[in-house]
Amino acid sequence: MEPILLFAIAIITIYITHWVYSWRNPKCNGKLPPGSMGIPLLGETLQFFSPFTSNDFSPFIKHRMERYGSIFRTSLVGRPVVVSTDQEFNNFIFQQEGKLFEFWYMDTFTEVMWNKKSVPSLQGYIHKYIRSLILNLTGPQNLKEKLLSEMDQATMKQLQSWSTQHANVDLKEAVATMVLNLVSKKLISYDEEKCSKKLRESFADIMGSLISFPLKIPGTPYYNGLQGRKKAITLIRNILYQRRTSPPKHHGDFLDLMLEEMKKDNTILTEDLIVSLIFALIFAFYETISVSITLTMKFLTDHPSVVEELTKEHEMILQKRENKNSRITWEEYKSMTFTTMVINESLRLGNPIPLILRKTMADVHINGYTIPAGWAVMICPPVTHLDPTKFADPLTFNPWRWKGTESNPGKNFMVFGGGARFCVGAEFAKLQITIFLHHLVTKYRWKVIKGGDILREPNVKFPNGFQVQFLEKHK
């Protein structure tokens, strides 16, 4: 062989060996948390996303906790990640928002959910301002004054139509559509029902792409997600454009509010930002509530005694009403104690959002280890929610565990996150789930036709759907 070729092979071998070595042993000004970085590039991505069917938390996490302890390192979708299953450290992360840790869901997430140009708006005072704008829609005041009655009407109508059609309803899809119909009107006065399900189609591909390898090749989840985003963004952008170019008219929706804000001096809002925000919000509404209601119905189906108690609570509310045809009032809503217990329990066991991600802004020291600046940190709420020292007999669906104030879970309950990033849609979601349950147990019985299996990857999937038939109760 030519000496020059041998030399080249030697160089390449040394280079690759060095690269693999530094992949396995990332640079750190201290001691890294224990763990394995897996194989080059792929890391432990495949193991992390491998599906499991139990309600318990991911075997990936469980095995590594046993081996390495409550904080360990790994590598996912090409990124070094430290996983935290330590509740004290989780709370520290929430408190240090914007100081040691920043909001960061991998670059693919940012590109599908947001747009690169608007990334700074996810942080700092702009973040606070945008939160306040969203709360104009999802905060208690608007829920009480407007949304309660609109949700009530829409949910009642929807359940009625399902029951009269005797159709097999694929619950997650059907609820997602119901929520989408309501919120697309509130956000952009868009009538999804009349516009042949355009938004819904574009959302179908997005979920799978949020945390994926950034491969822009047709067929990859990332590529499909970007295509879905493009379609939805075009639709929203057109509505915004029409509104800005037609004579002023009051729509009373979220877009009106944003356009008003945009007229102010020193506004930070741009058309791009508004479109991105509306897109992200529609997605948040669409996905989270449908998964939560489906999980709740699944748990209820398996626990008739809970349905019985729930029915009692809601029948009682109807009996107390002076006018039998009146609508749910805010006071009635606030009195539905057992229902809140059911919802808490269903979210605790169901864990619709199974991971929360951040990026370190500086080296972070924890338990004698150092997490280098720029690494991802992952909080795993299910580990805490299913910890027997925090919730006795954790895998059992038992709403009664929430009875009384002594059981207040405090910082051990993170279904809606914590700190400065606490979910802005939490109250909206709880109201919608409650209204659904109210009409469900007072007027209907249901029969499971098919499906109901839960798969976690680790986000919740219903691989064969959850087909339900709603039947009107005979009184």
Binding site for ligand NAG (CB under 6 A): 136, 139, 141-142, 257, 337, 340-341, 344, 402, 408-409, 413
Q: Does residue 292 interact with ligand HEM by CB under 6 A?
A: yes
**Under 8 Å between Cβ of 197 and 299:** no
- Residue 32 or 424: the one with the smaller Cβ distance to ligand HEM is 424
What φ, ψ does residue 73 adopt, rounded to 5°?
Answer: -105, 160
344 binds, options ligand HEM, ligand NAG, none, Cβ within 5 to 8 A by partner type:
ligand NAG
Give the CA distances from residue 364 to residues 99, 193, 208, in Å, rounded to whole numbers and listed in that order: 11, 49, 31
Find the residue with minimal CB distance to ligand HEM: 425
> Does residue 394 contact residue 388 with C-beta atoms inside 8 Å?
yes
Q: Are 32 and 370 in contact (CB under 8 A)?
A: yes
Whether omega for the bond prior to residue 458 falls within 30 degrees of 0, making it cis, is yes
Work out whether 425 is an interface residue with ligand HEM (CB under 6 A).
yes
Half-sphere exposure of 314 (CA within 13 A, CB side): 22
* Residue 295 interacts with, from ligand NAG, ligand HEM, none (CB under 5-8 Å by kind): none
User: Residue 113, interface with ligand HEM (CB under 6 A)?
Assistant: no
Phi, psi of 208, rounded to the nearest 5 degrees: -65, -10
From 138, 158, 360, 459, residue interacting with ligand HEM (rule: CB under 6 A): 138
Of these partners, ligand NAG, ligand HEM, none, which one is at the site of residue 87 (CB under 5 to 8 Å by kind)? none
Residue 90 · residue 379 · CB < 8 Å: yes
Say which entry of ligand HEM, ligand NAG, none residue 257 contacts (CB below 5 to 8 A, set by partner kind).
ligand NAG
How far apart are alpha carbons 70 and 308 in whole angstroms? 40
Min CB(351)–ligand NAG separation in Å: 14
Give the one residue of 57, 89, 101, 285 binding ligand HEM; rule: CB under 6 A.
285
Binding window for ligand HEM (CB under 6 A); candidates: 232-240, 253-261, 410-418, 458-466: 410-418
Residue 169 carries which DSSP code?
E
What is the three-class DSSP state of 222? Answer: helix
221 belongs to the binding site for ligand HEM (CB under 6 A): no
Which one, of 170, 134, 142, lies nearest residue 282 by Cα? Answer: 134
Task: Give yes or no for residue 421 binding ligand HEM (CB under 6 A).
Answer: yes
For residue 317, the partner it binds in ligand NAG, ligand HEM, none, with Cβ less than 5 to 8 A by kind, is none
**Which of ligand NAG, ligand HEM, none does 352 bind, CB closer than 5 to 8 A by kind?**
ligand HEM
Residue 417 found at the interface with ligand HEM (CB under 6 A)? yes
The residue within the footprint of ligand HEM, chosen from 82, 210, 239, 284 (CB under 6 A), is 284
Which secondary structure element, helix H or strand E, spans residue 20, and what is its range?
Answer: helix 3-24
Q: How far is CA 333 from the centre of its chain?
A: 24
Residues 307-366 that bind ligand HEM (CB under 6 A): 352-353, 356
Binding site for ligand HEM (CB under 6 A): 103, 131, 134, 138, 281, 284-285, 288-289, 292, 352-353, 356, 415-417, 421, 423-425, 428-429
